[in-house]
């Protein structure tokens, strides 16, 4: 397959002023190509101050937090700042009924008080490198079906060569749908300790109601610290480890942000799909997104019913609830905004233009017709794939049961190997230790019944496993609801996986026949065997076609519009976006200011609504106007502000920097009117919602009394 050269990529980044500065997630390595435009927007730093592999630069203060969020180093002692929702699981894991730091907040007043975490990591980028030529040369001659496997082998070789003789880790990522490849080398730290967090009444203020909305009044931050060995290198937890000494940390400005001020967001955005076709948008809005919302709603409703019954249950289940609810609402908003902004129609116009341009051009003229054929088959099976991921795997007991498949294989081999059995059981035990802590049988039985009923009613019968007929025959009720409630009850009564004690007893002496007869295991394996044999090939064929045609389509768009600026989709790699603080008008007769204040929190206070209960201490500080040095020119505490920076999931916790590279805000969300942003950037509505750093400092200092942390930071005005 022909690949676009990096020279062309650089050219397209340089040559256009058609797109505004606020659109695009830019690779720091190529920021010199945007520098003139950034200067005009207000930037006062040099390109080398933003990104330099030979000297300390801002990129050394930006940290990939646990593979799904961003954090930043804000002291010379490895102090990290990220979002409350990024640290939520760690905070919840340390919370008990007797020491409820999730509800009460937590502030370490010394290193000794900081809390050790399991399975938490923070990675600092060492360097990035264009490896397109290496990958393309090695891929020469590989067919489309074998290319992905070969790519992974090539990536492993490149990473091994780049990290040889070091303690570094690496990854290679594709850009522009396999038109370019970059290597990223990291220093990964695994001793990351909890330092501070406000109570969730502040950190999650507004809950699901305010999520993805503006105006916003959440204090969405938490603090951690990176620890290293005596040589300042990554090390497993040890009481002998010491705070990490970074190459660079961020200064914090208390000057604030005014409308029109230059802003940068530096972080690790997760995924965007800005080059999606009309076929993909139609499928998402008509089938996939509504299915995800409906399936997640089943889990959220059942969990919430039990969480509302007791604080101990709520604490145990709150982390998993938060994970699911965030993107439950996201998919509702994305569907609504894609339709409102008529993105499907705009994509059709672009494709119409492309078809006319591509006529007679051998490489490009069949792309859209090939897309149409691929989607014609995929549309029949895409919903099934969604139900497997969000439905079958979304049922707690079925998800747990699936973990036993490796054990079945180990027990089934003709030459049964005790070591393999032990390895399989040890892995399950490790998973179960965490799983059963938040496993609520009452809610999970309801979830199983309702999700399997949805699967039965919405997936074509000829795509369902034969085992479903046995379920219907054995548990037949007067209605589908009664049938699947009887089925779920039977599973929870008879499956050893339904509680931790019987699961532990089985793992002490695992038995192949007992495993295969277990109703939870038998059902989930029937679903996955059916999927693997009858459905997966269609999904795989589509993915190959989508990658092949998508790569050519992007290359064709660049050739069709050589004066346009093209930027790569987000893919979990370090990016910088730039724009400015900016208000907006969401609809007729409504205008949203660019910042919110503590006044708005007091206005929303509702003691009868869990998500809007304002802590008494915060109300006391408000009443006394005890704001310290953190008030704005009007004497108010600004809670949050919006800017037109381009962000997506993964940017949670990203620093918002001013023209001097100083920390002025903490990005935590996008706005409802631009929920289409992962697929379509709308410059009129797209906004990044960030905490004003002065609100963060106010809470650390005045609310938390953690002056030790304030003194550790470099605060400038």
Longest pairwise C-alpha distance within the chain: 78
What span, in angstroms and rounded, lies between the C-alpha atoms of 293 and 298? 9
Residue ranges per structural domain of the chain: 45-255, 278-551, 575-670+679-716
Q: Is the pLDDT of residue 91 over 60?
A: yes
DSSP-assigned letters across all residues of 32-47: GGTHHHHHHHT--S-H
CB neighbours of residue 288 within 10 Å: 18
Residue 85 known to be catalytic: yes
What span, in angstroms and rounded, lies between the C-alpha atoms of 36 and 614? 46
Residues in the chain: 717
- In this prediction, residue 414 has a pLDDT band, given cuts at 50, 70 and 90, of low
pLDDT at 146: 61
Tokens of 104: 């009460």
* 274 neighbors 681 (Cβ within 8 angstroms): yes
Strands 590-592 and 584-587: antiparallel
List Cβ neighbours of 262 (8 Å cut-off, separation of 6 or more).
Answer: 41, 42, 43, 578, 579, 580, 658, 659
Q: 219-258: per-residue pLDDT in tens?
A: 999 999 999 999 999 999 999 999 999 999 999 999 999 9
What span, in angstroms and rounded, lies between the C-alpha atoms of 167 and 124? 13
Query: Across 30-44, 142-156, 372-386, 411-425, which has the greatest mean pLDDT?
Result: 372-386
List Cβ neighbours of 1 (8 Å cut-off, separation of 6 or more).
Answer: 139, 144, 147, 178, 548, 551, 552
* 535 neighbors 241 (Cβ within 8 angstroms): no
What span, in angstroms and rounded, lies between the C-alpha atoms of 262 and 694? 17
Task: Compute the average pLDDT of residues 574-596.
Answer: 96
Residue 591 known to be catalytic: no
Q: Is the pLDDT of residue 15 over 50?
A: no
Among residues of the chain, what percentage have pLDDT more than 90? Answer: 90
Identify the active-site residue in 33, 57, 85, 191: 85
pLDDT at 418: 84
Instruction: Label residue 155 exposed, middle or buried (CB < 10 Å: 0-12, 13-18, 19+).
Output: buried
Tokens of 15: 């040559």
DSSP 3-state assignment of 305?
A: helix
What span, in angstroms and rounded, lies between the C-alpha atoms of 486 and 322? 29
* 271 neighbors 571 (Cβ within 8 angstroms): yes
Q: What is the CATH number of domain 575-670+679-716?
A: 2.40.10
Q: Is the pLDDT of residue 3 over 70?
A: no
Strands 222-228 and 192-197: antiparallel
Identify the active-site residue in 22, 220, 678, 701: 220
* 365 neighbors 354 (Cβ within 8 angstroms): no
What span, in angstroms and rounded, lies between the C-alpha atoms of 269 and 572? 5
DSSP 3-state assignment of 652?
A: coil
Cis amide leading into 539 (omega within 30):
no
**HSE-CB for 429 with a 13 A CA cutoff:** 13
The larger pLDDT score, comparing residue 655 to residue 2, is at 655
Task: Compute the average pLDDT of residues 494-507.
Answer: 97
pLDDT at 179: 94
pLDDT at 501: 97
Among residues of the chain, what percentage have pLDDT more than 70? Answer: 96
Identify the active-site residue in 71, 75, 325, 652: 652
DSSP-assigned letters across all residues of 379-412: TTTHHHHHIIIIIITTSHHHHHHHTTHHHHHHHH
What span, in angstroms and rounded, lies between the C-alpha atoms of 168 and 179? 26
As beta bridge partners, residue 580 has 262
- In this prediction, residue 12 has a pLDDT band, given cuts at 50, 70 and 90, of very low
* 19 neighbors 579 (Cβ within 8 angstroms): no
CB neighbours of residue 156 within 10 Å: 12
Tokens of 716: 């400038």
DSSP assignment letter at 570: P
Residue 167 known to be catalytic: no
As beta bridge partners, residue 640 has 596, 691
Closest CA to 366 of 122, 608, 114, 549: 549
Strands 252-253 and 715-716: parallel
Q: 267-324: per-residue pLDDT in tens?
A: 999 999 999 999 999 999 999 999 999 999 999 999 999 999 998 999 899 989 988 9
Tokens of 607: 């003691």
What span, in angstroms and rounded, lies between the C-alpha atoms of 375 and 380? 9
Return the beta strands (E) in 244-352 as ranges. 252-253, 262-267
């Amino acid at each position: 397959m022909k690949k676009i050269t990096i020279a062309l990529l650089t050219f397209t980044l340089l040559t256009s002023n058609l797109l505004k500065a606020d659109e695009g997630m830019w690779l720091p390595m190529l920021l010199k190509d945007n520098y003139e435009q950034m200067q005009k927007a207000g930037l006062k730093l040099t390109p080398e101050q933003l990104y330099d592999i030979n000297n300390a630069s801002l990129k050394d203060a930006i940290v990939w937090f646990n593979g799904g969020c961003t954090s930043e180093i804000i002291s010379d002692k490895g102090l990290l700042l990220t979002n409350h929702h990024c640290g939520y699981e760690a905070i919840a894991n340390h919370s008990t009924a007797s020491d409820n730091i999730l509800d009460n907040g937590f502030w370490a007043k010394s290193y000794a008080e900081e809390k050790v975490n399991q399975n938490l990591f923070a990675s600092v980028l060492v360097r990035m490198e264009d490896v397109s030529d290496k990958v393309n040369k090695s891929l020469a001659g590989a067919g489309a079906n074998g290319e992905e496997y070969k790519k992974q082998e090539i990536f492993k070789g490149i990473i091994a060569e780049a990290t040889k003789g070091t303690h570094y880790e690496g990854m290679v990522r594709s850009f522009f749908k396999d038109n370019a490849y970059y290597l990223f080398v990291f220093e990964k730290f695994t001793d990351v300790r909890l330092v501070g967090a406000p109570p969730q009444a502040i950190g999650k203020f507004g809950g699901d109601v305010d999520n993805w909305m503006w105006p916003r009044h959440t204090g969405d931050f938490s603090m951690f610290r990176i620890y290293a060995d005596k040589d300042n290198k990554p090390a497993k937890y040890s009481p002998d480890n010491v705070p990490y000494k970074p190459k660079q940390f961020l200064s914090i400005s208390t000057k604030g942000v005014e409308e029109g001020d230059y802003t940068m967001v530096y972080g690790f955005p997760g995924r965007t799909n800005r080059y999606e076709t009309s076929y993909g948008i139609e499928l998402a809005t008509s089938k996939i997104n509504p299915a995800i919302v409906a399936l997640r709603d089943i889990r959220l409703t059942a969990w919430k019913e039990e969480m509302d019954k007791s604080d101990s249950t709520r604490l145990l289940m709150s982390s998993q609830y938060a994970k699911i609810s965030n993107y439950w609402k996201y998919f509702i908003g994305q569907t609504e905004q894609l339709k409102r902004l008529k993105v499907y129609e705009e994509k059709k116009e672009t494709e119409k233009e492309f078809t006319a341009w591509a006529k007679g051009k051998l490489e490009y003229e069949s792309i859209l017709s090939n897309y149409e054929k691929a989607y014609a088959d995929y549309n029949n099976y895409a919903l099934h794939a969604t139900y497997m991921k969000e439905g079958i795997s979304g049922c707690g007991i079925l998800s747990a049961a699936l973990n036993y498949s490796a054990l079945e294989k180990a027990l089934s081999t003709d030459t049964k190997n005790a070591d393999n059995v032990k390895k399989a059981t040890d892995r399950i035990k490790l998973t179960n230790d965490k799983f059963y802590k938040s496993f609520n049988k009452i809610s999970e039985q309801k979830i199983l019944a309702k999700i399997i009923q949805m699967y039965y009613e919405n997936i074509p019968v000829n795509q369902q496993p034969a085992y479903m007929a046995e379920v219907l025959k054995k548990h037949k009720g007067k209605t589908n609801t009664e049938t699947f409630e009887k089925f779920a009850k039977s599973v929870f009564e008879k499956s050893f996986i339904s509680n931790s004690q019987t699961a532990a007893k089985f793992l002490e002496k695992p038995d192949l026949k007992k495993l295969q007869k277990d109703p939870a295991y038998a059902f989930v394996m029937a679903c996955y065997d059916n999927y693997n044999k009858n459905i997966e090939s269609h999904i795989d064929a589509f993915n190959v076609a989508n990658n092949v045609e998508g790569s050519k389509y992007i290359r064709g768009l660049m050739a069709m519009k050589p004066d346009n600026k093209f930027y790569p989709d987000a893919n979990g790699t370090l990016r910088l976006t730039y724009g400015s603080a900016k208000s907006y008008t969401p609809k007729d007769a409504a205008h949203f200011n660019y910042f919110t204040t503590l006044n708005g929190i007091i206005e929303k206070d509702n003691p009868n609504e869990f998500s809007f209960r304002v802590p008494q201490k915060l109300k006391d500080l408000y009443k006394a106007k005890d704001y310290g040095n953190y008030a704005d020119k009007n004497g108010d505490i600004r809670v949050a502000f919006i800017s037109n920076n381009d962000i997506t999931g993964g940017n949670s916790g990203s620093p918002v920097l001013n023209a001097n590279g100083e920390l002025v805000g903490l990005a935590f969300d996008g706005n409802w009117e631009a929920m289409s942003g992962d697929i379509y950037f709308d410059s009129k509505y797209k906004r990044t919602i960030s905490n004003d750093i002065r609100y963060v400092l106010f809470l650390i200092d005045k609310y938390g009394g953690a002056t030790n942390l304030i003194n550790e930071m470099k605060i400038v005005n």
